[in-house]
Amino acid sequence: MPIKESVPSAAAAVAEPETPSKTRAASQYTKWDVFDKAGLRPTIIRCDVLPGHPADESCKTNLIPGASAMLRHMDMEHGGGFLITVKEVAPQTKKSEPSAWPGWSELRTAGAEIQFLRCEVCDALLNQSVRELRTHLKPHRGKFRGAYQAFKNMFLFNIQFTPPAAVGDDADESWDA
C-alpha cells in the first residue's frame, strides 16, 4: 500500500483567529475575582478615551460584551480605556458556582491588569473590593447634580498588559498628556 503524502492541513488552521492571550502570563496584581464576588456582569462595554490621553486614541464604540473584544482593542492599541456599564447578578460565593461573567477570568488569564478603576458617578478611584464596588453602585453623591441618574452602574477601567503603575518601577508611564 503506497504511503500517501500527507496533505498539509495548515491552511485550515491559519484561518483560526489568534487568541490574544496565547503568549501572556496571567494577571498577578489585579483581583479579577472581586467582580465575580460582587456579581457584576457588563451590559455595555465601550472602548473609551482615558483621562489625559488623546481623544482619537480610542475608537469609542460599544463592543460585543466579551473579554475577547476588549483584548482585541487593547492589541489594536486603543488605549485600554473601557467604560463598562454593569448589572448586578448572583454573586459567586464559591469557586464551584457559576461566575457572574466569564470575561473576568478571561481577562485574568490573558494577563490584563487594571491600572485604575473609576466610578463615573463621583469620579473616585476605587479599590478592588466587593464592598467598594457595592458602595458605588448604590445611590451616592455624584460629581454634579444628577450624575447618579446619568452614570449609575458605570465604571471606567484603565486596563493594560503591564503591572499597575503604582506597583512597578515602569519607566514607560504615561501620566502626563
According to the binding rule CB under 5 A, does residue 152 interact with Zn ion? Answer: no
According to the binding rule CB under 5 A, does residue 45 interact with Zn ion? Answer: no
Could you give the CA distance from residue 19 to residue 33 in angstroms, rounded to a whole number?
22
Shortest distance (Å) from residue 124 CB to Zn ion:
5
Shortest distance (Å) from residue 136 CB to Zn ion:
4
Could you give the CA distance from residue 37 to residue 17 in angstroms, rounded to a whole number?
31
3-state secondary structure 33-72: HHHHHCCEEEEEEEECCCCCCCCCCCCCCEECCCHHHHHH
Give 59: exposed, middle or buried? Use CB within 10 Å, 0-12, 13-18, 19+.
Answer: middle
DSSP state of 13: H
According to the binding rule CB under 5 A, does residue 147 interact with Zn ion? Answer: no
Phi, psi (degrees; rounded to nearest 5) at 169: -110, 45
Per-residue x/- track, 107-126, Zn ion (CB under 5 A): ------------x-xx----
Per-residue x/- track, 58-97, Zn ion (CB under 5 A): -x-------------x----x-------------------
Which lies closer to Zn ion via its Cβ, residue 99 or residue 153? 153
Shortest distance (Å) from residue 59 CB to Zn ion:
3
The site for Zn ion (CB under 5 A) is made up of 47, 59, 73, 78, 119, 121-122, 136
